[in-house]
Amino acid sequence: MSYSDLKNKVAIITGSSSGIGQACVEYLGSLGAKVVVNYARSEEEGQATLEKIQKAGGTGILVQADVSNEADVQRLFSETVEAFGRVDILVSNAGMQKDSSFLDMSLDEWNKVIGVNLTGQFLCTREAARLFVKQAKNTPPSEDACIGKMILMSSVHDVIPWAGHVNYAASKGGVLMLMKTLSQELAPMKIRVNAVSPGAIKTAINEEVWSDSEKSQELLKLIPYKRIGTALDIAKAVAWLSSDDSDYVNGATIYIDGGMTLYPGFADNG
Ligand code: NAD
């Protein structure tokens, strides 16, 4: 895939030192975008990701920032502008799980997950929208041109309830409506906002499941396509949503889940 319009576009991908974010930053980098590798804690992983991009001929910088912290998010954007002069694409990907049964869930476990997965997306998308509008005022684009794109990383759990993970499911349900409302509000300003909702993707967040053969077999029962997804499956959709090829796509969620949202339990039980 070439997506030539992505060449030299500036893309921030949050939580990109591992997993899906890492695949997105590497893929966008390979398509010629100038990329920002963001990490919260592991500088080593962030540095290794950046070096891989640079070795493959890409351009990027590394910025530490906790997406749930307003000052950090503002610095993430200001350091990007300092390095590259602007921002064109935000992939708001950073996320986490802190699982517990509802009866045992502490307020801290609730707040932490909502803080990163939902408030973090609010802070990043707000900063991006403000910057897109400012950039367009300073350098008016041609009429009808998109002035910025955002892709929010959601989850199939924005529609599938998930017992034992109420903080996570509530955060992703919130992301769904954050994305739709932002899209409605920002589309007239020529900002595109969409979401990607992965199903089961082999990353660190769910290693406990895919590294155990019994749990993997149980998981496959929930996936009509009978394979666990890869981070690259997600990165390819993110690249399309970042490119002008998807220019008329606004307020959409793409479920990339091998059919997990198709109620597989009803396949032979209707
Ligand atoms: P991952 O754990 O590899 O990636 C999560 C990334 O977010 C990590 O790099 C982590 O350091 C970063 N992060 C966590 N807290 C942060 C913070 N406060 N500030 C900045 N970065 C922070 O797992 P992943 O599977 O790659 O998850 C990426 C996104 O995809 C998440 O939003 C997750 O909810 C979503 N998702 C994953 C799956 C899956 O099956 N793997 C399914 C649905 C949705």
| pLDDT tens-digit map of 39-82 | 999 999 999 999 999 999 999 999 999 999 999 999 999 999 99
Ligand 1 centre and the CA of 46: distance in Å?
Answer: 14
Taking the C-alpha atoms of residue 72 and residue 210, their distance in angstroms, rounded to an integer, is 33
Q: pLDDT tens digits, residue range 232-248?
A: 999 999 999 999 999 99
Give residue 267 CA to ligand 1 midpoint distance, Å.
30
Mean pLDDT for 207-220 is 93
pLDDT bin (cut points 50, 70, 90) of residue 2 is confident
Fold exhibited by the domain 4-203+230-256: Rossmann fold (3.40.50)
User: In Å, how far are 104, 139, 158, 198, 247 from 152, measured between CA atoms?
Assistant: 29, 26, 12, 11, 16
Choose which residue among 74, 156, 203 to substitute to test ligand 1 binding: the one with the highest number of ligand atoms within 8 A of its C-beta. Answer: 203
92 lines ligand 1 (CB under 6 A): no
Q: 5-9, 67-71, 197-201, 210-214: which has the minimum mean pLDDT?
A: 210-214
pLDDT at position 1: 61
What tens digit of pLDDT does each residue of 120-146 get?
A: 999 999 999 999 999 999 999 998 899
Over residues 85-126, the pLDDT tens digits come to 999 999 999 999 999 999 999 999 999 999 999 999 999 999
Average pLDDT of span 15-29: 98
> Which pTM does this prediction carry?
0.98
Answer whether 49 contacts ligand 1 (Cβ < 6 A).
no
Q: 39, 168, 248, 255: which is the annotated catalytic residue?
A: 168
Distance 9 CA to ligand 1 centre (A): 23
